[in-house]
Chains A and B, each alone.
Chain A
Amino acid sequence: MERHGSAECSRDLGGPPLNSPAIEIHDLTVSYREKPVLWDIDATIPEGSLCAIVGPNGAGKSTLLSAILGTIHPASGWLKIFDQEVGKSQELIGFVPQRESVDWDFPVDVLDVVLMGTYSKLGWFRRPGKAQRDWAMECLEQVGMADLKKRQVGELSGGQQQRVFIARSLAQDARLILMDEPFAGVDAATEEAIRLVLLDLKKKGRTVVLVHHDLQTIENFFDHVLLLNLRLVAAGPTAEIFTGENLLRTYGGRLTLLDEAAEAVRRIRTGRSRTGRDQ
C-alpha cells in the first residue's frame, strides 16, 4: 500500500498533470442564511486521484461535498465537474452518504440500493430488468457483497453498508465518487476492507473524494488532500500539503483537536511508516 501511494505521489509531482481535473473549484462561497460556511475556495482535484477533505468540525467539509454533488447552490463562485457546469453531468457522480443521514430502517435490500445506480440510464417509468440486475450483481461482486444481496440494509455492518453504496456508484458507472466520512465508526477490519475497495477504484481510474477525520491514516493512503477550515488552508498532493505547519493552520485555535494534530505531526517527523506495524 505504501509503495502504491508514493508512486502515485511522485507521478503527480512530476511535470504538468496528465489528466484534466475531475473537479475545478473557483472562488466558491456558500452560506446558510447569512453565515458563510465556505469562503472563497479555490482548488483543483485531478482525475484519478484519491483525495481527502480534512478539517475540524464545522469546517464545511460536508458542505463542499454537497456543492460538488449539486444539492446546494453557491452564493458566489463556480464549480466544474469534468469540465462541465454543476448539474450538467451529475450522473457521473456517485455519492456515498454519511452513515447517520441514511434511514437504515427503510424497506430496501442490498440489491435494491445498487439497482438505483442504473436508474439514470433507464429514464422515466422504465423499471430495471434482468440486464440491470445482472449488472448490479456484478458491481456487488466487485465489493465482495454478492452473498448479501437480499439483506435489508439495516442488517449490515457499517463497512458493508458503505460497500453497498460504493457498489451503487459502480453500477452508475460514476467517474467521481464522493464519500462522507466512510471510516466513521467502523472497526479496523472493516476499515481495511473499505481501503481495499478504494484502492481498487483508484486502479480503475475513478476519482474518489472523501471527507475524512482521522489525520493519522492520511499520509500513506491518500495522494491528495484538501485542508479546509471555512476557507481553504491548502490543497494539493499529500506529500507537499500534509505538513505540520498546514495542519496547525487548519486546526489551530481548536484546543481539543490540537493534540490529534500534534500527534499526526509527530508521526510525520518520525518517519512515514505506519503500514509496517499494522500487519
Chain B
Amino acid sequence: MMISPNTLVILLGSTALGTCCGLVGALMLLKRRALLADAIAHSTLPGICIAFLLGGSRSLAVLGVGALLSALLSATLVSWLPRITRIRKDAATACVLGILFGAGIALVGIIQRSGLGGSAAGLDGLLLGRTAGMLRSEALLFGISAMMMSLIIISLRKELLVSCFDPRFGLSAKIPARSIDFLQTSLLAATIVIALPAVGVVLTAALVVIPAAAGRFWTDRFDVLLAISALIGAASGLIGTLLSSLHSNLPAGPVIVLSATTLFIISLLLAPGRGWISRHMQQRSRLQDRQVRQFLDGILSSELEESSLVVLKRQPVTTAAIDRRNLVVSSRNGWIETDSQRIQLTPEGRRRAVRARKALQIWREWLTSEASIDRDLIDLDEQDIEKILPPDLIDTLQRSIDHRGTS
C-alpha cells in the first residue's frame, strides 16, 4: 500500500492532535473536570453555525474562529454560573452543554433548510469528523498547533502539577494558580477546536478523556501519566485516521475514538497493579493465603488440643474443612506432611502457624485497645506486623495478651 504525501501529512497531523488531546485530557482528569471537555466540545456547534452564516464559507479557519469563540463562552459560563447563582458545577456543566448544543442543532436545521444545503455538507462533517476531505494545509496547521500546545504543556508541567494537585500552594510556590487554571481551560478549548474537523463535535471529548483515563491504569506518577496519555492519544489518532483513510465510508471521528476505546479496554484489563486482571489475581491470592493460613491454624489447634502431633486426615480440622487446594498448596510449600491417614505440620509449617496466630492476636488486641486509630493502611492479613506497628507497641500489646491469659 502506498501512502500519498497528502495522507502522510494528515496522518502526522492527527497523531499530533491525539498527543495534544491526551496531554490536555490528563490535566482535565486530574482536575476532575473531564465533563468540561464534553460541554465545550458540544457547545462549539452554535459558534460554527453562526460563523458559517456570517462568513458564508465552509473554510475551516472561519468555522474554527466561531468554534473557538463559543468554546470560550461555554467555558466561561461553566465557571461563572456556580459563582453567581446557586447552581452547582455539575448542573451548570450539563445546562451549558444542553443549551448550546441544542441551539447548535437548531441552527444546523435552519441552515440545511435555507437552501445553503450544498455547502452545509461541510457542517455534517464537523458533527462526526472527516479527515478524508481535509486539505494538506489544514492538516498541517492543526498538526503544528497541536504540537505547539503539547510543548507548552510539557514545559509547564511543574506549574500545571501544582495547579492540579494543590492550587492553594500556588502562592507559596510563586505559581499563579489562577492564570495557570485559565491557561489550562484555554488549552482545552483550543485543543477541542482543532480536533473538531477530524473527530467531530460529538466525539471530541471522548478523544480528550479516554487516553487519560486509560493512562491512569498504568502509573502513579504525574509525568509518566502525561507521557502515557499522550502516547495513547497519538496512537488512537494515527490508527483511527489510517483505518478511516483505507475505507472511504468510515467517518474518522468514530474510528479514532474506537481505537482509543480499544486501548482503554486493554489498559483496564491488562495494566499491572491497577488493571482489572491484576487486581483480581491479587485479591484471589490474598484469599488463598488466608484460607491456607486458617487451614494450618486448624491443624495447629487439633495438634494442641490432642497434645499429639498427629491428626487424622478425615477429622474436621476447621469450619473451612480440608480443602483440596489448601492441602496441595501447603504440602507443596513443605508446611505439612501427609500420608494416607494423617496430616502433620512440618517444623516450618508449625512456625508459620504459630506466627500467624500470634499476629492475629496482636491485631485483635490492637483494634480493641487503641481508641482512635489510623487504620487506613492496616492490613489485618499482614503477618509481618513488625513492619507496621512500632516494636514497643507490639510488646505492650503482647504483654496485655499474656496478662489476660494468665489471670
Contacts and interface: CB of A to CB of B under 8 A. Distances in A.
Interface in A123-156: 123-128, 152, 155-156
Contacts of A97: 166, 168-169
Contact of A119 (B173, B219, B371): B173
Nearest to A102: B166
Interface in B169-185: 169, 171-175
Interface string A69-105: 1110000000000000001001101110100001100
Contacts of A125: 155-156, 158
A91 B220 contact: no
Interface stretch (A35-43, A184-192, A252-260): A184-192
Interface string B319-356: 00000000000000000000000000000000000000
B168 A71 contact: yes
A185 B373 CA distance: 7
B180 to A, nearest CB: 11
Contacts of A157: 374, 376-377
Nearest to B171: A90
Contact of A69 (B155, B171, B374, B390): B171
A35 to B, nearest CB: 14
B374 A187 contact: yes
Contacts of A103: 30, 32, 165
Contacts of B390: 189
Nearest to A72: B168
A196 B313 CA distance: 55
A118 B295 CA distance: 53
Nearest to B164: A106
A112 interface: yes
Given A107-B216, A109-B220, A125-B155, A120 B370 contact: no
Given A125-B155, A189-B390, A190-B374, A90 B172 contact: yes
A90 B165 CA distance: 18
B231 to A, nearest CB: 15
Given A71-B168, A91-B174, A119-B173, A124 B222 contact: no
A128 B164 CA distance: 18
A108 B172 contact: no
B382 to A, nearest CB: 13
Nearest to B371: A188
A70 B171 contact: yes
B221 A108 contact: yes
A119 B158 contact: yes
B393 interface: yes
A197 B188 CA distance: 42
B385 to A, nearest CB: 13
B157 to A, nearest CB: 8
Contacts of A155: 377
A174 interface: yes
A151 to B, nearest CB: 9
Interface residues of A, number: 44
B159 interface: yes
A244 interface: no
A50 B162 CA distance: 27
B249 interface: no
B164 A71 contact: no
A122 interface: yes
B161 interface: yes
A179 B222 CA distance: 25
B308 interface: no
Contact of B161 (A70, A108, A156, A185): A108
Given A157-B374, A186-B374, A187-B370, A108 B222 contact: yes
Contacts of B371: 188
A155 B370 CA distance: 21
Nearest to A154: B220
Nearest to B389: A189
Nearest to A178: B172
A116 B374 CA distance: 26
Contacts of A127: 158
13 contacts: A71-B171, A93-B172, A97-B168, A107-B219, A107-B224, A108-B220, A112-B161, A112-B222, A124-B159, A152-B220, A174-B172, A185-B374, A187-B370
Closest 5 CB pairs of A and B: A90-B171, A119-B173, A152-B220, A187-B374, A120-B174
Given A112-B161, A187-B370, 11 more contacts: A90-B171, A91-B172, A102-B166, A116-B161, A120-B172, A127-B158, A155-B377, A158-B374, A158-B376, A174-B172, A190-B374
